[in-house]
Structure 1
């Protein structure tokens, strides 16, 4: 594999961080503003859940069209279009189009996010080689950082300019990404396109290991999407202000940034990913149980545990997926399809939690259910032995 010199690696990290920062504000800004949106638009918690569920569904479906788009307009073109779509979707909030406008903006942002998340893993593996876990850590940390910024800043902007502006301003960050990404060919070579590595989804779908990876990613991401949607409402339901509840999500996502850097680096050093995977899953279980049983008294401890657990799980889920293919293009295809199925699975979690809230008056049951699911993931992760990973895809890679 082509070795990367230090300067291009640093430039690649900076570019990946800028792009990654744009992949969560459209979703993370919703949670702290739920009460304002519900009051002005007149929505139930189940309806509000669609503002998180729709982007996640779009993220799942978009992963399946990314390969075709990349063949037609190239890798650079896909990322550029995706950033433009995110920017325009965010800007749509300025026009105050009600519930339909919120749904269209959520769907558009989800499509843009999906395209980027589908193509960047191959670019990272091509650029980093054996340092892929390190770059994945920066990438995921940037994603979490974008969520932390939006959940902290949006309530303050809403206080002065209204919730519409608080959602729309993140289009400015996306437009900045468009400008910088347009300059990338001057400093970075495009990722190689290995035509021989392409495989059909139908071939991949016949492999049991593919479905194990997709289900593992999907259930783990279900925890993250539910937190993104319902952590602030969990605390506003306890009497907290929107700004205070938004800071709780910012605290959680800020810890996720640290976890996204530390745990992938630890996994790279250890080689075997399973001990680190087990650790982050158990941290998540502890956080969900505390949040379900004593949210008022353990709020900051529970969110800290979840920040460490979910923040480490997200990049590690992608890393163990890409461990199954040595060739970057094949690894990128596998990661895209695993994310596609996984996000479709994860899209149900905000709706289920919203229904439980409407029926039972609280989110505690949803958090306890996720704790049980993550305990099951601990058993599941023991199967992901890195030393034998590539053998599971040998029939499609030969």
Structure 2
């Protein structure tokens, strides 16, 4: 019994550290939407240009994902996470001193690089350290990511109101990075030492199933990044206050947290994830239809449906990728590829929605486009038959 406790205690602290780190992976983006009108009042930003505050960090996350595993092999997981938290913290606190759109966008890109390095390491870490509970642990990890977004979206407008500065509303989230850094570094969570560069990573660029998984992840994440960037400004245009629009986005991300916890646990009952994925995509489609057709009526229902759908889809997309391979290192390489390509795809959606808003004067056509994308993804889900995984990725 004492032996079990001795081995479970380090695992508990490692998981606690992972969750604290994950809280830092969205506030730098989630705080922007609710404060956008205040930012635009101080800095000249069109909607298309403002979309770069979400688009570019997501694109940076995609590009950095391709060398994230290489960095972790050279530095070790402990140092990689420490470095990434430092990058996120510096990028976030720098927003106290920014005066131009270019500086603001550069801070977003820098944060995106730090986020990507962590997101490249974590699936491999979870697959190797929690091999018997991958679905549950991935659910907790993604839930913590969504939780960080919920906290930032809900409280950034309140911080701005209390301090009179949108810069403080954006920069205060560096405190989360400091907390995670102190915990992660202080406990020295039994992370691996650097791995020799002589074991090269497997390339998945020539594998059609890896591309299908990447496109699926990217299209699903496109709905998340677009909602994160534009839901609050959409409701501000409908006459809502910034604080109430931020709280609505916070409510949506709270539903994502709930779904991120529950969905992987439900899906863990079967290796075939297709029925769960279809249900999640149907929820997202219903949420977008509600935003378009009657945004002011049942205004909590539509973010609730979107949050439940998006919050479950994000971890399930990664879990389906991990399901394809049993070896943790190969599975980590596959998820790094899936996220790398996926984030490059997802990063385009805020820009396209911003251009639609500038040209057509409304976000409704962006919501319609994403509804069509979710319908396409339902057809893609039909390909994810677990009986054929070994044939697609040997």
SS of match in other structure, 1:326: coil
Say which SS state the counterpart of residue 297 (structure 2) adopts.
coil
- Root-mean-square deviation over aligned CA pairs: 1.7
Is the Cα contact below 8 Å between 2:77 and 2:191 reproduced in 1? no
* 2:44 aligned residue: 42
Q: Distance in 1 between matches of 2:174 and 2:21?
A: 13
Q: Which residue of 1 aligns with 2:312?
A: 312
| Rounded Cα–Cα distance in structure 2 between residues aligned with 1:50 and 1:93 | 16
- 1:67, distance to aligned residue in structure 2 (A): 2.1
Distance 1:138 1:167 in 2: 25
- The answer on whether the counterparts of 1:271 and 1:386 sit within 8 Å (CA) in structure 2 is yes
Indicate yes or no: 2:180 matched with 1:177: yes
Contact 1:197/1:327 (<8 A) preserved: no
Say whether residues 1:96 and 2:85 are aligned partners: no
1:191 to partner: Cα distance:
8.2
State the match for 2:122 in structure 1. 120
| CA spacing shift, 1:192–1:381, aligned 2, 3 Å | farther
Deviations 1:109-143 (A, max 9, x none): 00000110011100001111131000001001000
Q: How does 1:185-264 map to 2 (within 5 A)?
A: 185=188, 187-190=189-192, 198-201=200-203, 204-264=204-264
More divergent stretch after superposition (245-254 vs 168-177): 168-177
Residue 278 of structure 1 aligns with which residue?
Answer: 278
Partner Cα distance (1:148, 1:125) in 2: 26
Which TM-score applies when normalising by structure 2? Answer: 0.95
Cα displacement (A) at 1:195? 8.0
Output the TM-score relative to the length of structure 1: 0.94
**In the alignment, is residue 136 of structure 1 matched against residue 138 of structure 2?**
yes
Check the 8 A contact 1:197/1:330 in 2, yes or no. Answer: no
Give the drift of 1:102. Answer: 0.5
Deviating more after overlay: 63-72 vs 47-56: 63-72
Separation in structure 2 between the aligned mates of residue 96 and residue 197 of structure 1, nearest angstrom:
42
Instruction: Tell which deviates more after alignment, 189-198 or 279-288.
Output: 189-198
Q: Secondary structure at the match of 2:190?
A: coil
State the 1:269 CA deviation.
Answer: 1.4
Q: What is the CA-CA distance between 1:194 and the residue it aligns to? A: 9.5
CA contact (8 A) 2:81 2:118 kept: yes
Higher mean C-alpha deviation, range 88-97 or range 192-201 = 192-201
Q: Comparing 6-15 with 322-331, which one deviates more in the overlay?
A: 6-15
Provide the residue aligned with 1:166 in structure 2. 169
Find the aligned partners of 1:184 and 1:288 in 2 and give their Cα distance.
Answer: 43
Are the counterparts in 1 of residues 76 and 191 from structure 2 also a CA contact under 8 Å?
no
Listed one character per residue, the Cα deviations across residues 29-83 of structure 1 (whole Å, up to 9, x for unaligned) are: 0000010011110211111100000100100001011122122211111111110
**How many residues are aligned here?**
389
| Distance in 2 of aligned mates of 1:388 and 1:8 | 36
CA–CA distance in structure 2, aligned partners of residues 192 and 93 of structure 1 = 33
CA distance in 2, matches of 1:387, 1:6: 33
Query: Which segments of 5 or more consecutive residues in structure 1 lack a partner in the other structure?
Result: none
Aligned to 1:326: 326
Q: Is the 8 Å Cα contact of residues 32 and 232 (structure 1) preserved in structure 2?
A: yes
- Aligned partner of 1:61 in structure 2 is 63
Question: Could you list the per-position Cα deviations for residues 66-112 of structure 1 after superposition, in whole angstroms to 9, with x for gaps in the alignment?
Answer: 12212221111111111000000001111133212201110010000
- 1:341 — aligned with what? 341
